[in-house]
A and B are shown apart, each in its own frame.
Chain A
């Protein structure tokens, strides 16, 4: 069965902290994605990767960076967390030439 896991369901961090969100998929997918979801704004793409060590900016990359050292793992990094980064973060993966994406359960991050 297809599985995407995220390191935490809930996370509380302080302003200025460095935050790591981890995502792992066990489906050998080439593509991986990080989104944030906010009420009234839907899902917005932060970064994506279509291969190991490759990364591309999405629609809202400011304040974030990513790392993909292994095919199955895609990390989202908040270099210095701010309160406006309080959100639900969703990771997804997809096979290279297939459209549908498979999502993890999400991490609800609160920055105080």
Chain B
């Protein structure tokens, strides 16, 4: 099964509203990352939060991490139609040679309507 599981699977909101997506995982992590994927395209890295961090901000994005509950949330504030995409969390394992091997969840499909 996937290391990361996102919730909800799909989310539809109005422009200007906030969108919250959650991710749960099973094993200890080094860091947790969030990615966005526009329809039929590659993934774009949004934000990385390390296991010793509890909250991180980047523009309209806010990520929290609770390692005791093995969960993370991504909040997008003041959403725009351009935020319509799939969002994935990814947990990592350190590779022998350096770098990180990511395990992705199945994603949350966000639709922001005008």
Contacts and interface: CB of A to CB of B under 8 A. Distances in A.
Interface residues of B, number: 27
Contacts of B101: 33, 45, 48, 58
Contacts, number: 80
A99 B33 contact: yes
Contacts of A104: 42
Interface string B47-76: 010000000000000000000000000000
Interface residues of A, number: 34
A56 B97 CA distance: 10
A42 B106 contact: yes
Interface in A20-36: 30-31, 33, 35
A101 B35 CA distance: 9
A98 B105 CA distance: 20
Contacts of B100: 94, 98-99, 101
A21 B96 CA distance: 26
Given A30-B98, A31-B99, A94-B99, A99 B92 contact: yes
B95 A48 contact: yes
Contact of B44 (A42, A56, A103, A106): A103
21 contacts: A30-B97, A30-B98, A30-B99, A31-B97, A41-B106, A42-B107, A43-B43, A43-B88, A48-B101, A50-B97, A50-B98, A51-B97, A56-B95, A56-B96, A95-B99, A96-B98, A99-B48, A99-B92, A99-B100, A100-B48, A105-B41
Given A43-B88, A92-B43, A99-B92, 9 more contacts: A42-B88, A42-B104, A56-B96, A92-B42, A95-B99, A98-B99, A99-B30, A99-B100, A106-B41
Interface of B: 2, 30-31, 33, 35, 40-45, 48, 88, 92, 95-107
